[in-house]
Copies of this chain bind each other. A is one copy, B any other.
């Protein structure tokens, strides 16, 4: 919890002097950062020693520590959207409104998606990805782009990731798979025919299947070994599936980062890939 929040929460339980000091800090964190303990005391009409004791009672080792914490709070204060913004984007909305709704709905999709997946299930997915001989990716339409994104990242880690925009090729790929392999099937609805068939094929050959799909019951979810959920705006026509894609990306990014955590040389691999790709950039000069 941020310092300011902590101060506000305890304001009632504080002694008069502490309350006055706390209130001032909560209301003027910026100003407080420029004040010494004595100056803050003068502002609040209290003594310098009370200011120091206030910091200590809050659990800080020193007044300077309190200032650092307040500074951290200021830097992290993003004025989060007050609440979930309902409704779609109306025609008459101006630039600022569109912006606000876009950002907050993206944020919401992200937050709710990561909240919908427990550490355990994500952990299972990461272990499966980590252990797989080959990782196949399946997805059509917008999900295909998410699959490509993940495959690109996995390749950077030296993993064998196989993905193609053409679902026929995807099918051909998994048809050669076996029990040591893993399929990541991505479909928000969980009913995309191609993705489903590919998942069935993979399963038939003994491969494990990670499904990344919506919360509702669906065929893809039912046949998966590991099930990860994406949460998005249900009105896909109006939102153009933006939030569904963001939710999928948030989840695949999370998987990727968790794999990086488990791979000590991940940093080197990524770096080497970047260097190799950078060579392409300068090749034409």
* A201 part of interface (Cβ distance < 8 Å): no
**Separation in Å of the A6 CB from the closest CB of chain B?**
16
A266 to B238, CA, bound (A): 9
Q: How many copies does the complex hold?
A: 2
* A82 part of interface (Cβ distance < 8 Å): yes
**Separation in Å of the A76 CB from the closest CB of chain B?**
5
CB < 8 Å neighbour of A253 from B102, B107, B189, B253: B102
Given A68-B68, A78-B108, A237-B274, residue A149 in contact with residue B91 (CB < 8 A): no
* A59 part of interface (Cβ distance < 8 Å): no
CB pair B283–A193 under 8 Å, yes or no, is: yes
Which B residues are CB-close (under 8 A) to A107? 78, 107, 110
Interface residues on A, range: 35 or more
* A26 part of interface (Cβ distance < 8 Å): no
Which B residues are CB-close (under 8 A) to A98? 254, 257-258, 261
CB pair A260–B119 under 8 Å, yes or no, is: no
Which B residues are CB-close (under 8 A) to A270? 82, 237, 240
Task: Encode contact with B along A243-285: 1 for CB under 8 Å, 0 otherwise.
Answer: 0011001100110111011001011001100100100111111
CB pair B91–A119 under 8 Å, yes or no, is: yes
A238 to B103, CA, bound (A): 24
Which B residues are CB-close (under 8 A) to A103? 110-111, 114, 250
**Separation in Å of the A90 CB from the closest CB of chain B?**
9
Closest B residue, CB atoms, query A88: B267
The residue in A78, A102, A264 that gathers the most chain B C-beta atoms within 10 A of its C-beta is: A102
Q: Which of A103-140 contact B (CB under 8 A)?
A: 103-104, 106-108, 110-111, 114, 119, 122-123
CB pair A261–B119 under 8 Å, yes or no, is: no
Which B residues are CB-close (under 8 A) to A277? 141
Closest A-B pairs by Cβ, 4 of them: A75-B75, A193-B284, A72-B75, A95-B119
